[in-house]
Amino acid sequence: MWKGRFSKDTSSLVQQFGESISYDWRLFPHDIAGSIAHARAQLKVGLLTAEEFSQIENGLMEILGDIEAGKFEFKTSLEDIHMNIEAELTKRIGAAGAKLHTARSRNDQVATDTRLYTRTEIDGLLAAITGLQKALLDRAEKYAATVIPGYTHLQRGQPVTAGHHFLAYVEMLERDKSRLADARKRLNISPLGSGALAGSTINLDRHAIAEELGFDGVTHNSMDAIADRDYIAEVLFVISLCGVHLSRLSEDLILWCTAEFAFASLSDAHTTGSSLMPQKKNPDVCELTRGKTGRLVGNLMNLLVAVKGLPLTYNRDLQEDKPPLFDSVDTLNLILAVNTEMISAMELREENCKAAASDPMLLATDLADYLVKKGVPFRHAHELVGKAVAQAIATKTPLDQLDLPAIDPAYGSDAKDVFSLETALAARTNPGAPSIANVTAEIARWKAALT
């Protein structure tokens, strides 16, 4: 494509070093859509005849069919998907194919293709995240009233329900969807027509091209349009954060599946055994999710480091934007799919949950609240309950079986009434709190929202 300027063929090592067709081939539907829209704009200004446009459009659609059918031969010598398609088109239809690249550069071509690809993948990720939310919602509904300890510092804190716990992840995933939707809005601007960096003296209707490709508008600065990879960084960040959320869910489930917690049981279909220890049932999906999150974060760092020192506008370093993007999209899609399946089949061991939640220490804060309602300042109430807890530990007496009035007269004879899980949960009626009524209402709200 630059034989007019160079007198020697490109070294085979340079071809191997510089090719991107091994991974950017997946841009083919977007490259073809962009080329057809570009050709239509050429037709409108008289750069192509109706016959030439028809040849280009039909030729590109034939190439699309061949690629989808696995009949297309990608050539490393042509570097990337753009030149592979253009060269094959010219080979098939002749001179008309050679006109296609008029008024565009590979720089704005790849920028357009990558935005189209990213937009499509965001739509897929939004659907996949919703699928996982529905699986979590299903478990939340099934275990809406199953009481479990809530933890801080991985120490038992206060009682919650499993339904409330699962809904926490539904909330996190909804924020991920919101961020992806925001990123989609920002990236949905067409750079096609920006040329290599300064547009072209041949002015095509950029707005018509953008409309045909489903963009909301066109970029306003040709240099920024070519150099911009913010949208990829933004999407990689959201993907990384979604991975972090799923990694935290994985850690919860890993703990819940241990013999020490024994709150949850995963299906045999979503666990593995040991090559040595016959009794083992390992939560590998959770562990791999946790591990692959590091890969997602690494891909974000990969891109940020690649672009951090680049002057305007295009530099070949930007070819390295696509491997982390493609890998993160593929990885998160697989994580979402397998976790959706696993969560849907997961069961809780409700007797074990009940036994753990029956620890009267979980209601120590409720006991302090009881004192506050009797007029005791909270800090003093905190101290009094702390003394009761210390005595319970020292005497190996359950907190709810202590003679509380003997510890301090601030405790009344009704202090023991605090130690009722049903009463404790029912009292947590503030918005966002884990009363069963609140959890049930939230489940209904999410069901309506996710339909």
* Catalytic site positions: 153, 274
Q: Is the dihedral of CA 371, 373, 375, 376 positive or negative?
A: positive
Answer whether 191's CB lies under 8 Å from 225's CB. Answer: yes
Burial bucket for residue 138 (CB in 10 Å: 0-12, 13-18, 19+) = middle
What is the C-alpha separation between 397 and 263, in angstroms, rounded? 25
Q: How many secondary structure helices (H) and strands (E) does the chain include? A: 19, 4
DSSP string, 290-343: HHHHHHHHHHHHHHHHHHTTPPSS--GGGGGGHHHHHHHHHHHHHHHHHHHHHH
Decide: helix, strand or coil at residue 190: strand
Phi and psi at 348, nearest 5°, equal: -100, 145
Tokens encoding 268: 């045999």
The CA-based diameter of the chain, rounded to the nearest angstrom, is 100
* DSSP run (H or E) holding 253: helix 230-256
Q: How far is CA 327 from the centre of its chain?
A: 13
